[in-house]
Amino acid sequence: MLSFLIRRLLQTIPTVLAVVLLVFVLFSVVPGSIASSMSDDADPHVELRLKQQLGLNDPVYVRFGNYIAKLTTGDFGTSFRTREPVTTMVAKRAWPTLQLIFTAMAFSVLLGVPLGFIAALRPGGLVDSAAMVLAVSGLSIAKFWLGLVLMYLFALKLGWLPSFGYGDGGLKYLLLPAITLGVSPMALFARTTRAAVLEIMTADFVRTARSKGMSETRVVKWHVMRNALVIILTTVGLQFGGLMGQAVVVEKLFSWPGIGSLLVDSVLQRDIPAVQGSILVVVLAFLALNLLIDVLYGVIDPRIRYA
């Protein structure tokens, strides 16, 4: 296990380097500069000095080299926009995003997986049909629209929850954005679980277990659930990445202080260090979660070995 972990950690290095390089190159070729973002009346002479001070006149490879050198010391650079260390900025925004993503994931798993199970146990029945209609709707619904509907319903009409803001970071502020973000993966989990369970139900080992006289409850619990969990876990792993991407819409809509909105604001204002820092953190989080999922595979299914 330890050697597996070390190997996987080493494998992330080229991935991270490739992402950093890609972002660097992209922001070297896109039009628009930090000088014009900062002042629409910047004297050309000042613009030149500013670029010099920020090291923007150096060739891309020099800047890239400097950046990598700084990264190795844990320094993400200084934001062009706020003049704050990017590490501080990203750290402030990472926790709210994690809160949002994990709550959304918990909501989607806790609702989606049982829904898929129940639907699969009585295929073609009323619950199955209703669950699948819900799943298709959940997958097709636009987050922005869903968020507004939830705000309208739970804040304006029922008065149960605040419609926006971070507040003290408590659950009542977190619920609406997390549900908005979680509905789509919830629908996906319902569908995936249903498909997985239906497939496993017809597998040879399930038939064998039944023929040996095992009760249906034990069959579902020991054979179906355990095997379906591996598939569900894969989907959860993939969905984490998706949620990070989709969080930006929700963060913007609900004035949630996450890393997604930091990234978008930084892109729009050509704040390259902040863009790089945000992307890097998102990528690292994604890689860490995938690693965690891989470890969990082994816990659930001993057949998966870490050779």
Partner 1 sequence: MMFRMIAIVAALGLALAGSAEAQTPRKGGTIRMTAPYGSSFTSLDIHTTQRAQDEIYAKALHRSLYIWNSAEGKPVPELAKEVVVSGGGLVYTFKLRDDAYFHNGRKMTADDVIWTYNRIMDGTKAYPGARFVRIIEGAAAVEKGQAKEISGLKKIDDFTVEMKLTEKVDPGFYFFTALTSIYPADEAAKDSFIQHPIGLGPFKFVEHVPGSRIVLERWDRFYKPGKPYADKVIVSIMGEAAARDVAFRNKEIDTSVLGPAQYVAYQADPNLKGTIVEVAEVFTRYMGMNPAFKPFADKRVRQAINYAIDTDLIINKLVKGKAYRATSWLPLTSPAYDKTMKPYPFDPAKAKQLLAEAGYPQGFEFEWTTSQNESWGLPIVSAVIPMLDRVGIKAKVKQVETAVLAEVVRTGDYQAFIYSQQSGPDPLAALKCFHSSTPQPACNYMNFKNAEFDKILDEAGQADDAAKRTQLLQKANALLYEEAPVWFFNYNKAVMAVQPWLHGIQLNPTELTHQNAEELWVDETSPAK
Cα-trace Rg, the chain = 24
Please state the φ and ψ torsions of residue 78, each to the nearest 5 degrees. Answer: -115, 135
| Shortest distance, position 301 Cβ to partner 1, whole Å | 40
Closest CA to 227 of 251, 255, 193: 193
Q: How far is the CB of 39 from partner 1 (least distance, A)?
A: 4
Q: Which is nearer to partner 1, 127 or 155 (by Cβ)?
A: 155
Query: What tokens appear for 125 in the block?
Result: 């029945």
In the complex with partner 1, the residue whose CB is nearer, 38 or 195, is 38
Nearest CB to partner 1, comparing residues 89 and 183: 89
Nearer to partner 1 among residue 44 and residue 124 (C-beta): 44
Contact 24, 276 (CB under 8 A): yes
Smallest gap from residue 281 Cβ to partner 1 (A) = 14
Chain residues in the site for partner 1 (CB under 8 A) = 31-33, 35-47, 49-50, 52-53, 81-84, 89, 92-93, 144, 147-148, 151-152, 155-156, 159, 162-166, 251-258, 261-262, 264-265, 268-270
Please tell me whether residue 267 adopts helix, strand or coil conformation: helix
CB of 288 to partner 1, least distance (A): 23
The secondary structure of residue 78, as a DSSP letter, is B
Residue among 50 and 220 whose Cβ is closer to partner 1: 50
d(CA 8, CA 291): 7
CB of 105 to partner 1, least distance (A): 21
Distances (CA, A) of 130 to 115, 187, 190, 232: 10, 12, 11, 21
